[in-house]
Amino acid sequence: MKHFKQVEIYIAEKETAKLTAFLEAIKYDEILTILERLDDERKAIVFECLDEYIAIKCFKVLPEKTRQTLIREMHHERAAKLLNSLPDDDLTSLVEGLPSRVVNELLKLLSDENRRTLLSLLGYPENSVGRLMTPHYVAVKENWSIQDAFTYIRYHGQNSETVNIIYVLDDNGVLIDDIRMQEFLFVEPTTKVNQIMDHRFLALSVNDDQVEAIKLFRKNNRFALPVIDANGIMLGIVTIDDVLRLAEAEDTEDIQKIGGSEALDEPYNTISFFSLIKKRAGWLIILFLGEMLTATAMGFFQDEISKAVVLALFIPLIISSGGNSGSQASSIIIRAMALGEVTFADWWRVMRREIFSGLILGAILGSVGFLRIFLWQQLHLFNYGIHWLLVSFTIFFALVGVVTWGTIAGSMLPIVLKKAGADPAASSAPFVATLVDVTGLIIYFSVAYVILKGTLL
């Protein structure tokens, strides 16, 4: 915190020389923390003052949006150094988010090799495995000796992201095996590569969705997976550190959506106030418009309410119970779908299970609600009128109905959304709650009508 304040002061006073000296004296971790707290404009100033080695290191771990802004704000010389330091996969995803006018500027800053790689990776569909891969891996031929392979690795493996796994390609570039470095070290140098091959390997397809890559990494203990095209030709590797970051970003999106806002796409600390409001207002307004139907529904029941004001007392309790059980169900199912545990094919199994869950949970809450009225009336804490017993039965059955309905709606909505090609996480807790609020009122007043007809109503 103290360091942060000092940096703020130097920036405000435009003391770049002092800032440079100050930054040199503090640790990488602290610099990262400081950067996290600064807005993008001041981040760019700090970046200009950082030691090049540290600047590159920090740049590599910044979120993409921040990288994009920084690159646009910084002097070309430093921007070029930072860009060329990025792994190809990161460079690709940085560039794909920029307007084409800026991309053209940036291409000039890249080394020939990086420019070539970038242009080829940009050819794959967005969110495909192709955009995630790097061409920096080590591949050998099956008829080479281990010694040949080592000589090759010595010359070509320097930039490889990992040497844990050596890939074996045939003469057409088709992937035929992956071998652990340990196997290489363990045998005589004159052994042929094909003598230690087992022809068992796992690969990603270049056009697969990136989410598939996350799932495959979760199911297998690998640091990297090879990427092949439809003909089995090896195109690159995807490394697990990128998958960790991708999975984190996906989960962040899901959590923000479940909370009922758009995905922010930027860290909370650095997103501008205006963007923050924009991302949140959209859904809030939609939910508000939906929730207005409650006023319409209540309008229909206006007569009932004036006849039996006691019914109004329980409106928030009843509808929120439906909303809560719906939020639970939808969040659980959204996550299970993201992890691949539940798919559309499972809808009936899920539905059956959730109907029973809903009935049991509804009965539990209904009993608590029934008891509440019963006890308050008996202990003279509140007077629910002469028909209090009928009122408590109304509450019981309304809760069973509303909670069951909330649970079914909450669990089915993500599945339906997914089937319709939308993001299951859009069936956020507030969205389900709103849906159940409106229908919950109808359930409540219908139950009340049946039970209280002729007495209160």
- Which residues in the 247-276 window bind a copy of itself by CB under 8 A? 247-248, 251-252, 254-256, 258-261, 264, 267-269, 273, 276
Q: Classify residue 329 by burial, with Cβ atoms within 10 Å: 0-12, 13-18, 19+.
A: buried
Q: Is 449 in the site for a copy of itself (CB under 8 A)?
A: no
Q: Measured from the CB atom, is 93 or 328 closer to a copy of itself? A: 328
Contacts of a copy of itself in 326-345 (CB under 8 A) = 327-336, 339-342, 345
| DSSP output for 27-50 | -HHHHHHHHHHS-HHHHHHHHHHS
Q: For 270-346, where are the alpha helices, taking DSSP H only?
A: 273-300, 302-307, 309-313, 315-338
What CA–CA distance (Å, rounded) separates 380 from 388?
12
Tell me how far, at minimum, the Cβ of 78 lies from a copy of itself, in Å: 20
Q: Does residue 378 interact with a copy of itself by CB under 8 A?
A: no
Sheet of 234-239, strands arranged across:
204-205, 224-228, 234-239
Please, what is the angle between helix 28-37 and helix 40-49, to 10°? Answer: 150
Site for a copy of itself in 31-70 (CB under 8 A): 32, 36, 60-61
Name the minimum Å distance from CB 151 to a copy of itself: 10
Cβ 358 to a copy of itself, closest distance in Å? 10
Chain positions 388 to 417 lying near a copy of itself, rule: CB under 8 A, are 403
386 sits near a copy of itself (criterion: CB under 8 A): no
What is the distance between the alpha carbons of residues 59 and 67, in angstroms, rounded to a whole number? 7
Q: Does 347 bind a copy of itself (CB under 8 A)?
A: no
| Least Cβ distance, residue 131 to a copy of itself (angstroms) | 17
Burial class (CB in 10 A: 0-12, 13-18, 19+), 421: exposed
Output DSSP code: residue 187. Answer: S
Q: Which stretch binds a copy of itself (CB under 8 A): 68-76, 118-126, 169-177, 361-369?
A: 361-369
Asked whether position 351 contacts a copy of itself by CB under 8 A, the answer is: no
Token pair 């939020």 in the structure block, residue: 327
Interface with a copy of itself in residues 75-104 (CB under 8 A): 87
> In the complex, what is the shortest distance from the CB of residue 83 to a copy of itself, in angstroms, rounded to a whole number?
16
* Amino acid code (one letter) for 220: N
Closer to a copy of itself by Cβ: residue 130 or 260: 260
Q: In the set 2, 101, 108, 154, which binds a copy of itself (CB under 8 A)?
A: 154
Are 418 and 424 within 8 A, CB to CB? yes
Pick from 360, 390, 442, 457 the residue near a copy of itself by CB under 8 A.
Answer: 360
- Identify the bridge partners of residue 228 per DSSP, sorted by sequence position: 205, 234
Q: What is the amino acid identity at position 412?
A: M
- Closer residue to a copy of itself, CB minimum distance, 87 or 173: 87
Our finding on whether 162 is near a copy of itself (CB under 8 A) is yes
Of 111 and 269, the one with the shorter C-beta distance to a copy of itself is 269
| 134 sits near a copy of itself (criterion: CB under 8 A) | no
Instruction: Write down the least CB distance from residue 168 to a copy of itself, Å.
Output: 18
Which CB sits closer to a copy of itself, 18 or 280?
Answer: 280
Contacts of 453 (CB under 8 A, 6+ apart): none
* Shorter beta-carbon distance to a copy of itself: residue 104 or 344: 344
Which residue in 39, 51, 76, 186 binds a copy of itself (CB under 8 A)?
186
- HSE of 4 in the Cβ direction (CA atoms, 13 Å)? 11
User: Should residue 5 be labelled a site residue for a copy of itself when binding is judged by CB under 8 A?
Assistant: no
Those residues with Cβ within 8 angstroms of residue 66's Cβ, 6 or more apart along the chain or in another chain: 40, 43, 266, 267, 270
Q: Could you give the 3-state DSSP secondary structure of residue 226?
A: strand
Interior/surface letters 337-356, b for 16+ CB within 10 angstroms, e for the rest = bbeeebeeeebeebeeebee
Nearest distance from C-beta of residue 194 to a copy of itself, angstroms: 21
Q: Does 371 engage in binding with a copy of itself (CB under 8 A)?
A: no
